[in-house]
Amino acid sequence: MVTGSGAVVVDRLSYMYPRTEIPVLRDLSLTIESGEFFGLIGPTGAGKTTFCLTLNGIVPQFYGGRFFGSVTVLGMDTVECPTRRLSRHVGVVFQDPETQLITPSVEDEIAFALENLSVPRAEIRRRIPVALKAVRLEGTERKHPHELSGGQKQRLAIGAALAMQPDVLVLDEPTSQLDPLGQREVFTVLKQLNEELDITIIIASHAAEMLAEYADRVALLADGSLKAIGSPAEIYTRRGLLREHHLRLPQVTETFMTASDRGVPIETVPVRLDEGQQMIDGFLDSENPPPAIGFQCDDASSHNRKAISQDNSVLSAHNLHYHYPDGTAALKSVSLDIHAGEYVLLVGQNGAGKTTLVKHFTRLLLPTVGRVKIFGSESRNLNVSEVARRVGYVGQNPDHQLFRATVESEVAYALRHQGRLEDAEIKGRVTESLAQMDLTYARDLHPLSLAKGDRARVVMAAVLAMEPDVLILDEPTTGQDYRDARRILKITGQLHRFGKTIVVVTHHLYLMAEYAQRVIVMGEGTVLLDGPIRDVFHRVDVLRSTYLTPPQAVLLAQHLSKKIGHSYPILTPRELASVLASAFTNEVIS
């Protein structure tokens, strides 16, 4: 029995959706205090989204099902209290922003919920610019929400929730589509609301580094059960527990734990970047700082140095400009070539033009000015079906590519309409693709009945079954837990080794060190930087100009480099741990 007067009191909660026999939540009991910043972590399918929906009464009032125990928010029982009343006090941001955007303009989206809550007109007008500034959407007031990029839509949904100034704000993976500095901005705004207005923040997220820095407590949910709860330091230093549930450590924590494994005596493992930097400072400021330390690339990334023929361009853009119908200049004088056998990472802020560029390489868009060539042919002289046979594309929103009644028929659709494969060949390819994506269980299910992460893998399975020469993935790890994200990227790595050309668009830079060879950085529709990953990841100034920040291992390496006066082009915690182990022999870091 949980007792107490916290903002949220959960007592022996279990829940089963209609027509199911397996509980999604199992005997959960916990109290979240008023004014707490509470993080919720767990693998895909852990029950995090369902738990979030119990806090505003959508579960079970909307979904039905069997609900046991109780959830009380600000003294209101979420089963007995109408959702309309709960919504005045509990704001919710869902994982998929498109489920929340319903009005014809950005400013109307901010105003909509406020109008329903009868907030005075003058106050609504005051809150709109404040909310848009907080999520970096100034200047988009008159745009239709569906004209925004995926990350911008997510920021708009967050802005609409922030404008309501609820007592409790619940967010389900709210930053999964945001650029790194966008993530930090959202967490910073949430922390300000938490501290200045005493709003209770409950956030389900895979952003380990952000939760380690901002959360007061973190709970680990797996298989619907509460496995652990404690401070970020208590949770993120339990490496075995996190690995058991396919979760990752913050990179600073992974770095120093790996260094400890290699003989470095460490008293307290850091979970925040500044703590790791202070550890390095403490050692290097000692009476006998180490000399410059040798560095050898991690074997896992050695394939990134493979030579690529510069004469074999498969995708190219020359003086490419593109204007959307509303006048937005999405691309400005972009010129680049992608060569056969390359693994290219395309990065940049939300709205930088990344998706617009790759849609030109699939012939979904045609240049306003300039030229695009696909395997040497002008894109204007090709049709989409011709391109699709050789260039596979997994879009940012999987729902835009799903239209069949079962997962199996979805994966088989394009194969059957090629008209050149026997049924046995089609069946074999479908079976293999489903197995690669761990979707065999879903063969007979409707694609839209699956979680968003699983829906994205259905689209990828359909593309893989086509066996294209080029594979383009736009934010393929969004909505995936660490295990599934690594599984997807491992497949891209295997395809790359088989000679396929890979282009990945993602904000999750920490995942890419072992795979990408080349990084193209975009900002405001132009190419800002183009080069090898070890060079680009250490150009922090350019990355930050387009709202990116490199992984913590890179930032720690740069801190070490400045202290010693020797450059370390480090990409991974394992590489940095090797350097620290050689530098900190017989030293205690505390």
Interval 483-500: pLDDT, tens: 888 988 998 998 999 899
Nearest to 90 by CA among 15, 201, 254, 217: 201
* Residue labelled with tokens 């050689």: 582
pLDDT over 70 percentage in the chain: 93
Task: Read off the tokens for 124.
Answer: 């609504």
Question: What is the 3-state secondary structure of 142-201?
Answer: CCCHHHCCHHHHHHHHHHHHHHCCCCEEEEECCCCCCCHHHHHHHHHHHHHHHHHCCCEE
Nearest residue to 559 via CA among 286, 287, 285, 184: 285
Structure tokens at 139: 């200047």
Q: What tokens were used for 97?
A: 């922003």
Residues 6+ apart with CB under 8 A from 133: none
Helical segments of 380-451, H only: 384-388, 407-418, 423-436
Residue 511, both tokens? 């995942």
pLDDT values of the chain reduced to their tens digit, one per residue, 590 residues: 344 568 999 999 999 999 999 999 999 999 999 999 999 999 988 999 999 999 999 999 999 999 999 999 999 999 999 998 998 899 999 887 888 899 999 999 999 989 988 899 999 999 999 999 888 899 999 999 988 877 788 889 989 998 998 999 999 988 887 778 778 878 888 898 899 889 999 999 999 999 999 999 999 999 999 999 999 999 999 999 999 999 999 999 999 999 999 888 888 999 999 999 999 888 776 555 555 555 666 644 444 445 555 668 999 999 999 999 988 899 999 999 999 999 999 999 888 999 999 999 999 999 999 999 999 999 999 999 899 999 999 988 888 889 899 999 999 998 988 777 899 999 999 999 999 888 999 999 999 888 777 888 899 899 999 999 999 999 988 878 888 889 889 989 989 998 999 999 998 899 999 999 999 999 999 999 999 999 999 999 999 988 888 999 999 999 998 888 888 899 999 999 988 888 766 444 44
Structural domains of the chain sorted by starting position, each given as residue range(s) with its CATH number in brackets: 8-239 (3.40.50.300), 252-298+556-583 (no CATH), 318-545 (3.40.50.300)
pLDDT given for residue 155 in this prediction: 85
- DSSP H helical segments within 226-266, as ranges? 232-236, 239-244, 251-261
Rg, Å, the chain Cα set: 25
Amino acid identity, position 360:
H
